[in-house]
Amino acid sequence: MSLAVCLLAYSMVVAVLGPPLVLSTTRTGAAPRLGVTVWLALIGSVLLAWAGGAMLFVAQLADSWDHVGQVLVGCVAGLRLIVLGGYGRGLQAGLVALAALSVVALAMLGVRVVVALCRARRHTRAHALTALIAAGESPRGPGGALVIDSAQPAVYCLASRPHTIVVTRAALEALGDHQLHAVMAHEQAHLRGRHHQLLAFTGALSKILPNLRLFTDGATDIARLLEMCADDAAARRHSRDTVADALIALTLPSPPVTPVTAMAAAGVSVTQRVQRLVFPPNPTPARLGLALILAGVLLSPLLTVGMTALAPMLCVV
Q: What is the pLDDT of residues 154-187, one digit of tens each?
A: 899 988 778 889 999 999 999 999 999 999 999 9
Q: Helix axis angle, 177-192 relative to 240-251, nearest 10°?
A: 100
Q: What is the pLDDT of residues 94-136, one digit of tens each?
A: 555 655 666 677 778 778 888 887 887 888 888 778 777 877 8
The Cα 157–Cα 128 span in angstroms is 9
The Cα 71–Cα 202 span in angstroms is 35
Report the sign of the C-alpha dihedral through residues 110, 115, 118, 124, in that order.
negative
Residue 210's contacts (CB-CB under 8 Å, 6 or more residues apart) are 216
Residue 201's contacts (CB-CB under 8 Å, 6 or more residues apart) are 113, 117
Amino acid symbol at 295: A
- The answer to whether the CB of 6 falls within 8 A of the CB of 262 is no
Bridge partners, 165 (sequence order): 157
Prediction pTM value: 0.82
Query: pLDDT in tens for each of the 317 residues of the chain?
Result: 567 777 788 888 899 999 999 999 999 999 999 999 999 999 999 998 888 877 777 776 666 555 544 554 444 444 444 344 444 555 445 555 655 666 677 778 778 888 887 887 888 888 778 777 877 877 788 888 899 998 888 899 988 778 889 999 999 999 999 999 999 999 999 999 999 999 999 999 998 889 999 999 999 999 999 999 999 999 999 999 999 999 999 987 777 777 777 788 888 889 999 999 999 999 999 999 999 999 988 887 777 666 655 555 544 44
- Domain ranges within the chain, ordered by starting residue: 1-87+282-317, 136-280
